[in-house]
Amino acid sequence: MKAKYEDGRTRYVCERCHYPIEVEADSFYEFSGPEDLNFWCPNCQDLPRTSLVGVTATSLPLELRLRDRFSLHIVPTAEPGDIDSYGLLYKPYSKRSFLRQYLDWLLMRSAELRCRLSSSILAVPKFDLRSQSYAAQMDYQIRDSCGSAACHFLTHAKLKPESSACEAIEVLCSPNSEHGLCETGDEAAILRHYIEFTGTDHFPMLIPQPALFTGRRRPDFLVFIPITRFQYRFVIVLIDRPGKSDDTVRIETEDYTRHGYVVRRLAVGGQESHFKLARDLKNWIEVGASA
């Protein structure tokens, strides 16, 4: 996911043949006219009719209102002296950005929590796999710690159901907790597994119960998936519980789609466990939704 957050290209698709077209760009690239050879479609052998893949990064909301008066910002507010490494540590609505703000919110509310997040950056020479040698460019690695141990929220990528060793996950994913942000047990179980599946790096956060439209029910989850640095997919995740009518499903999907969101539905109460639903969602985000 880090590579997607930092990818300096802009991606389009030819609407005639659906061939992907990529343009290198240090800033957001806009179509400059039919004479622009960057928009030649090698598949059609013609000038393409292009459309942008996903939604522009400039459309990302700067703030979201979650439950219990928790305001989530696109990235945490910078502290004096931190600005140099800020762009490396915090990506828009990533797990690390969320956790930093959630822990600060708990501290402000005088919550008794032993989690102490500390993130540091180590610069290393970039290794070229093709030449099997170090390149002149530098890469970086981020270390996330909780006290003397690795931060479980950001580093643990589990492969099977197991109990959580992270107090922040326990508090966040408990619908009965004073500081939990999930509304139901289904949401809490899926979010818990998702956090531990995704492990380290700048993985997009599965944001519970965001307020998007005035006077309407909050979606179960929202996730902003990076396609490149300049492009995102805005995805609403809705949990379908037994008894939900087909008309309700259709109306909900059409409503969010009309506002530019991709809708991903998770059916609970059947053969699929929360563990498998979370795993499938994580795999879809990595591959299908961001390809």
Q: State the Cα–Cα distance between residues 21 and 72, nearest whole angstrom.
A: 34
> In this model, does residue 80 exceed pLDDT 70?
no
> In this model, does residue 66 exceed pLDDT 60?
yes
Digit-coded pLDDT (tens) for 182-227? 999 999 999 999 998 887 778 999 999 999 887 777 899 999 999 9
Q: What is the pTM of this model?
A: 0.87
Q: Give the pLDDT score at 49.
A: 76
* Among 169, 75, 70, 189, residue whose Cα is nearest residue 115: 169
Most confident range, picked from 19-28, 30-39, 124-133, 241-250:
241-250
- Residue pair 223/235 in contact by the 8 Å Cβ criterion: yes
Q: Give the pLDDT score at 290.
A: 57
* Among 155, 191, 150, residue whose Cα is nearest residue 170: 191
**Domain residue limits, the chain:** 2-53, 59-116+153-288
Digit-coded pLDDT (tens) for 88-141? 889 999 999 999 999 999 989 888 887 888 888 887 777 777 777 777 777 788
Please, which pLDDT band fits residue 161 given cuts at 50, 70 and 90? Answer: low
Q: Give the pLDDT score at 127.
A: 75
Please, which pLDDT band fits residue 34 given cuts at 50, 70 and 90? Answer: low
Q: Give the pLDDT score at 32.
A: 55
Phi-psi region of 68 (alpha: psi -120 to 50; beta: other; left: phi over 0): left
How many residues comprise the chain? 291
Provide the Cα torsion 143, 144, 148, 150; round to 10°. -100
Digit-coded pLDDT (tens) for 35-53? 566 677 888 888 777 788 8
| Residue type, position 283, single letter | N
> In this model, does residue 25 exceed pLDDT 80?
no
- Residue pair 190/175 in contact by the 8 Å Cβ criterion: no
Q: Give the pLDDT score at 27.
A: 57
